Chains A and B, each alone.
Chain A
Amino acid sequence: MYAFTYQRPTTLADAAAAIQAEDAKLLGGGQTLLPTLKQRFARPTDLIDLGAIPELKGIREADGGLEIGAFTRHAEVAHSDLVKRVIPSLASLAEGIGDRQVRNMGTMGGSIANADPSADYPSAVVALKATVTTDRRTITGDDFFTGMFETALEPGEIVKSVRFSRPDKAAYAKFRNPASRYAIVGVFVARFGAEVRVAVTGAAGSVFRAEAFETALAADFRAEALNGLSVEADGLNADIHASADYRAHLVTVMAKRAVEAAG
């Protein structure tokens, strides 16, 4: 690690001021940022730890859905009785992130701000019609993820909380990378009345909605409704763990499993 100045503000306003410094970086649970620093891939002058800011914490029921503070650890989401009651699929998604150590440290805000193409939460943000509140504004989940490791956040903008709508039925099915345990393909299926959302993570540069799947499931919410449907392999991610056509295949398999799990 290169040397940096460590700051631990206790209010969002102080954090927002501190992040204005040139080459300052926000620190969430550190599960992505710290390995990057250790490997000397980044050289921030200041690290602004968000862990002591009460406004960024907590899980509340809001408008029938949930509002989750940006500095909520994955393990807290996984084990929260409130989350398990209101949106159980979100709790089980969180339980499937990385390993125990990662879940005990990593945060929701850090995960979505980082926008790793194989992260799990982005699929929930899109499928559960979430809105992301920052220290400046509110961004819809559909507009939040703009590309590989890219979001609608402006420099220095801090994610404050994420508000998820409560679906009638939902489930997340993940095909893990056996090495890293990130998603090679993760499919979040959520049904809100007549509307169905199918959000796919891991497969492409950024989370995307499988519209043909959504249409088919809106008409018939059964796994069989997806028979014969698939996403285009062209342009999907390919690496030593999974080729693009394997990923395309897995999208259909995982979507069916999610529908089955949603019941």
Chain B
Amino acid sequence: MANPNGIGASVRRREDQRFLTGRGNYTDDFKRLNMTHAVHVRSPYAHARIMGIDFTDALAMPGVVAVLTGADMEADKVGSLPCGWQIHSKDGSPMKEPPHYPLARDRVRYVGDAVAVVIAETREQARDAAEMVVVDYEEMPAVGSSTRAIAGGAPLVHDDAPDNVCYDWHLGDKAAVDAAFANAAHVAKIDLVNQRLVPNAMEPRAAMGEYDQSTGEYTLTTTSQNPHVTRLLMGAFVLGIPEHKLRVVAPDVGGGFGSKIFHYGEEAVVTWAARKVGRPVKWTADRSESFLTDAHGRDHVSHAELAMDADGNFLALRVSTLANLGAYLSTFAPSIPTYLYATLLAGQYKTPAIYAEVKAVFTNTSPVDAYRGAGRPEACYLIERLVDVAAGVMGMDKTEIRRRNFVPKEAMPYQTPVALQYDTGDFAKNLDIALPLVDYPGFQQRRAESKARGKLRGIGFATYIEACGIAPSNVAGALGARAGLYECAEVRFHPTGSVTVFTGSHSHGQGHETTFAQIVADRFGIPIENVEIVHGDTNKIPFGMGTYGSRSLAVGGSALVKAMDKVERKAKKIAAHMLEAAETDIEVKEGRFTVAGTDKSLGIGDIALQAYVPHNFPLDELEPGLDEQAFYDPKNFTYPNGCHVCEVEIDPDTGVTTIVSFAAVDDFGNVINPLIVEGQVHGGLVQGIGQALYENCVYDEESGQLVTGSYMDYCMPRADDVPSFTVRYHEDQPCTHNPLGVKGCGEAGTIGAAAAVMNAVVDALSEYGVTHMDMPATPEKVWRTIRDAAPAPAMAAE
């Protein structure tokens, strides 16, 4: 009988018991003897020269242990926070990579840039003293947006980055695209902004540094999505601590959405300060600090054009994007608007020629980096909005123009003109499943009914494809990643048959402790309770590249399978010995090792015991023990894809948009746990809807002040803002190159949703001649658009 908690079962998340009963262990929950508290002194200016720092009064405040500044770090030869990716500009020159010190040295470059840290007995004492630190700033003109950054004569964020440009990059065959445009029958064009977002993980960032004088070992406990990479970057580049003397622990982490992938200055500060003050040092961001200093997401300004023939076949796509990277390069920042964005511009379409230019600029704003979807939502939004405009130009149905241009299933594997090779996907099938779910033929009637009530109804489609399972290391290396992006797993059978799995993936909401255990339980036919998943500790786990880019299952799960293969191979040898049979005669099924054609068999538990108590064991051939480790480097990216359909109703009197229905049809390859997959889709959809209708990170262009620095002004979507979702997936197109056939589901919802919602909003407003609206579609923006539309069509009289 199949394992009730095996692959494909909707097992409830085992970790939720501790989360829901308040027993999770988050970084801020850890307390150490003699622990001190750090509070950062942060710049109130977007751009200023530091003329001096006077902390005499602060040092004299009660409970203050130390006040440390960039000068102290410089004296200790603390390095700059490294960037993990390098991009080369069109002309072959490397991107501009200005230093990014954990504590600013002579200049601050965004509101929230740290200039000093106060360490005290309590957090409140540290805060009191931080207010007494007097920083003499000489304010400088600031650049609060990407468009201002490239305007002639704009102030320079970094003196050695002329015109504030980090890189000016391109991808694709420009000549082919130009030629196709020259012969096009029709061209659709769009200008759009993909606005900046604040990630808003529920748990703010936190870090605790410890130093053990007797061993010389440092420990950093931190809110990280990838502790090993933090150890590598901080140890090797910032603090000069060798790996064997640095332990990084990422315990329970309350969400990240990308913002906790990166190595942040505060981590280096507390680790370094722990040694300086001889005591553990903890820092926990408050929500205002999270708004100011978490790496933000998106922030693109783009122009795109699509060339078509007379029948609406796509001939070529031309895209030019201005990407805001913020004041400094965060760990992954340069890769997001390039390798995770431009390479996805083919979308689900067989557009034969694509050319994309991306100019990335520095501004006096918080660094911008990966945020759920990371580049792919920007690509999807651009393509899908443009395709809707194209449908308008052609006078074609929005589903028909898509269907006509889909890469057909038969064309798989399909080489896109922008570097990627899709392995599988049946895009027409996604659409075929979606259309009945939303009763597409009935839409016109629903629209008429809405109109009779004085409301405007719209339907929006978005198809998406993403590159996940990051990443084949050789490809990543060729692209400029400074690390490989494989994953590691260790499977340790204990003498009595229970299992501990050590994975380099990190769970901060994804449910690894359940899904990874299901995979093991399934493979060895053991109860899920007998499997423990350990993650997030560099002293326990051999190595890891962490969790982001929907990579955990596709890459980490594959490493787990490889390690299980090794366990099984060894167990088989042991079983052959114990059963006195030839290894080739042993058949293995769900942890049962049987001599073919007999009823002689052993369970994996019997074998594990023998492996650790090797009284009847092939000791001359095998080592005792049953503990195997594997690294898995993916052969290709994985390509989750799907079709999202949103229906909205707009109240023209107030401009309020209500989402009436939302259906998501996804192809994630094989699904391990449908319940968790559905949860991931739901969360992702809400984030995408959040971008479409509510969220907007606003900086004042001139002063660089963050205008939306709290939840009073930054609007997060809430449960009552969204409808009950219709979520479907199919498993017809499993990934062809990883052992589980999985593609990943963590980001999909976010990638498709924003485009689907905005296409629906624009559709609802189409009778006013509206062809595009930038996000978020706030009530006032919608109302104003309707009011300013001329001539207004006859509405149901009020």
Give the most central of B124, B654, B698, B798: most A CB within 10 Å: B654
- A179-B783 contact given A2-B128, A240-B707, A253-B654, CB 8 Å threshold: no
Assess the B780–A241 pair: CB atoms within 8 A.
yes
Q: At the interface, yes or no: B711 with Cβ under 8 Å from chain A?
A: yes
A–B Cβ pairs within 8 angstroms, 25 of them? A2-B128, A40-B127, A175-B779, A178-B694, A178-B721, A178-B778, A178-B779, A179-B694, A179-B711, A179-B712, A179-B713, A179-B715, A180-B711, A180-B712, A227-B798, A240-B698, A240-B707, A241-B713, A241-B778, A241-B780, A246-B783, A246-B784, A249-B783, A253-B653, A253-B654
Interface-central residue, A227, A243, A249, by most chain B CB under 10 Å: A249
Q: Among A1, A2, A175, A227, which residue has its beta carbon within 8 angstroms of that of B654? A: A175
Within 8 A of B (CB), among A16-32: none
- Minimum Cβ distance to chain B for residue A2 (Å): 7
Question: What's the nearest-Cβ distance from chain B to residue A220, in Å?
Answer: 16
Contacts of A253 in B (CB 8 A): 653-654
Other than A178-B694, A250-B654, give 20 A-B pairs with Cβ distance below 8 A: A3-B124, A39-B288, A175-B654, A175-B779, A178-B715, A178-B721, A179-B694, A179-B711, A179-B712, A179-B713, A179-B715, A180-B711, A227-B798, A240-B698, A241-B778, A242-B780, A243-B780, A249-B783, A253-B653, A253-B654
Which residue of chain A has the shortest Cβ distance to B653 in the bound complex? A253
User: Complex: how many Å from CA A75 to CA B720?
Assistant: 19
B708 at the interface (CB under 8 A from A): yes
Nearest Cβ in chain B — how far from A149, in angstroms? 15
Distance to closest chain B CB from A38 (angstroms): 8
CA distance A243 to B721 in the complex (A): 23
Query: Does B725 count as interface, using CB distance less than 8 angstroms?
Result: no
For B698, B778, B779, the residue with the greatest tally of chain A CB atoms inside 10 Å of its CB is B779
Task: Determine the chain A residues whose CB is within 8 A of the CB of B721 once the complex forms.
Answer: 178
Is the CB of B768 closer than 8 A to any CB of chain A? no
Inter-chain contacts of B783 with A (CB < 8 A): 246, 249
Bound-state Cα–Cα, A246 to B124, Å: 42
List B contacts of A40 (CB < 8 A). Answer: 127, 131
Nearest CB in chain A to that of B124: its residue: A1
Instruction: Tell me the complex Cα distance, A180–B710, Å.
Output: 10
Partner of A240, one of B127, B708, B798: B708
Chain A interface extent, by class: 10 to 19
5 A-B pairs with the lowest CB-CB distances in the bound complex, closest first: A179-B715, A180-B712, A246-B780, A178-B715, A253-B653
Per-residue CB contact flags for chain B residues 749-780 toward chain A (1 = under 8 Å, else 0) read 00000000000000000000000000000111
Counting chain B CB atoms within 10 Å of each CB, the highest count among A3, A240, A253 belongs to A240
- Least distance between B347 CB and chain A CB atoms (Å): 30
Bound Cα distance A180, B654 (Å):
18
Bound complex: CA A240 to CA B288 (Å): 19
| Secondary structure call for the A interface | loop
Which residues of the partner chain A approach B780 to less than 8 Å between Cβ atoms? 241-243, 246
Closest CB in chain B relative to A179 CB, distance in Å: 4
Residue of B nearest to A239 (CB): B713
* Nearest CB in chain B to that of A2: its residue: B128
Q: How far is the CA of A178 from the CA of B288 in the complex (A)?
A: 19
> What 1/0 flags go to A163-182 for Cβ under 8 Å of B?
00000000000010011100
> How distant is A95 from chain B, measured CB to nearest CB, in Å?
13
* In the complex, chain A residues 193-238 whose Cβ is within 8 Å of any chain B Cβ: 227
Contact A240 B713 (CB under 8 A): yes
When chains A and B are docked, how far (Å) is the Cα of A243 from the Cα of B778?
Answer: 12
Cα A178 to Cα B707 in complex, Å, equals 16
Q: Which residues in A have their C-beta under 8 angstroms from that of B778?
A: 178, 241
Give A263 to B611 CA distance when docked, in angstroms: 81
Q: State how many angstroms separate the Cβ of A44 from the closest Cβ of chain B.
A: 16
Nearest residue in A to B128 (C-beta to C-beta)? A2
Q: Is B137 an interface residue (CB 8 A)?
A: no
Q: Which residues on B sit within 8 Å (CB–CB) of A246?
A: 780, 783-784
CB distance from A48 to the nearest CB of B (A): 22
Query: What's the Cα separation between A243 and B798 when bound, in Å?
Result: 24
Whether B714 is near chain A, meaning CB under 8 Å from some CB there, is yes
CB distance from A183 to the nearest CB of B (A): 13
A217 to B784, CA, bound (A): 28
Report B80-135 residues with CB < 8 Å from chain A CB: 124, 127-128, 131
In the complex, chain B residues whose CB is within 8 Å of the CB of A250: 654
Q: Which of B664-723 contact A (CB under 8 A)?
A: 694, 698, 707-708, 711-716, 721
| CB-nearest residue of chain B to A3 | B124
Chain B positions within 8 Å of A249 at CB level: 783
Residues of B within 8 A of A243 (CB): 780
B714 and A179: CB pair below 8 A?
yes
Shortest CB distance B42–A (Å): 14
Minimum Cβ distance to chain B for residue A176 (Å) = 10
Nearest to B781 among chain A residues (CB) is A246
Complex-state Cα separation, A34 to B698, whole angstroms:
26
CB distance from A253 to the nearest CB of B (A): 5
Give the distance in Å from the alpha carbon of A241 to the alpha carbon of B783 in the complex.
Answer: 13
Tell me the minimal C-beta distance from A63 to chain B in angstroms.
37
Q: How far is the CB of A13 from chain B (nearest CB, A)?
A: 33
Residues of B128-157 whose CB lies within 8 A of A: 128, 131
Question: A89-116: contact bitstring with B at CB < 8 Å (1 yes, 0 no)?
Answer: 0000000000000000000000000000
Q: State the CA gap A164–B124 with chains docked (Å).
A: 43
A163 → chain B closest CB, angstroms: 32
CB-CB < 8 A to B288: which residues of A? Answer: 39
Nearest-Cβ distance from residue B687 to partner chain A, whole angstroms:
16
CA gap between A40 and B132 in the complex, in Å = 14
Least CB separation from A38: chain B residue: B286
Could you mark each residue 311-345 of chain B with 1 if its beta carbon is under 8 Å from any beta carbon of chain A, else 0? Answer: 00000000000000000000000000000000000
Complex: chain B residue closest to A253, CB-CB: B653
Smallest Cβ-Cβ distance to A39: which chain B residue? B288
Q: Which residues of A contact B127 (CB under 8 A)?
A: 40
* Alpha-carbon gap, A3 to B715, bound state (A): 31
Minimal beta-carbon separation of A57 from chain B (angstroms): 29
Q: Which residue of B lies closest to A249 (CB)?
A: B783
Nearest chain A CB to B686's CB is how many angstroms away? 14
A175 CA / B714 CA spacing, docked (Å) = 17
Contacts of A2 in B (CB 8 A): 128
How far does the Cβ of B483 sit from chain A's closest Cβ, in whole Å? 39
Residue of A1, A3, A253 with highest tally of chain B CB at under 10 A: A253
Give the residue name and chain of the A residue nearest to B131 (CB): A40
Q: Which residues of A contact B714 (CB under 8 A)?
A: 179
- Please, how many angstroms separate the alpha-carbon atoms of A1 and B713 in the complex? 22
Task: Tell me the bound Cα distance from A175 to B798 in angstroms.
Answer: 19
CB distance from B505 to the nearest CB of A (A): 34
Distance, CA A175 to CA B708, complexed state (A): 20
A227 to B653, CA, bound (A): 13
Question: Considering the chains assembled together, what is the distance between the CA atoms of A179 and B713 in angstroms?
Answer: 6
User: In the complex, which residues 647-661 of chain B have their Cβ closer than 8 Å to any Cβ of chain A?
Assistant: 653-654
Q: Closest chain A residue to B695 by CB distance?
A: A179
Q: Which of B381-424 contact A (CB under 8 A)?
A: none
Chain B residues with CB under 8 Å of A39's CB are 288
CB neighbours of B784 from chain A (8 A): 246
Residue of A nearest to B784 (CB): A246
Inter-chain CA distance A193–B558, complex, in Å, is 76
Those of A237-263 within 8 Å (CB) of chain B: 240-243, 246, 249-250, 253
| B716 nearest CB neighbor, chain A only | A179
Q: Which residues of A contact B716 (CB under 8 A)?
A: 179
- The chain B residue with its CB closest to the CB of A1 is B124
Interface hub of A175, A178, A253 (most chain B Cβ within 10 A): A178
Q: Bound state CA distance, A245 and B780, in angstroms?
A: 10
Chain A residue at smallest Cβ distance from B776: A178
Interface core residue of A3, A179, A243 (most chain B CB under 10 Å): A179
Assembled-state Cα–Cα distance A40/B694 (Å): 28
Query: Given the complex of chains A and B, what is the CA–CA distance between A221 and B711 in angstroms?
Result: 39
Residue-wise interface mask of B (705-745) relative to A, using a CB-CB cutoff of 8 A (1 in contact, 0 not): 00110011111100001000000000000000000000000
A180 to B694, CA, bound (A): 12
Bound Cα distance A249, B778 (Å): 15
CA distance A227 to B797 in the complex (A): 11
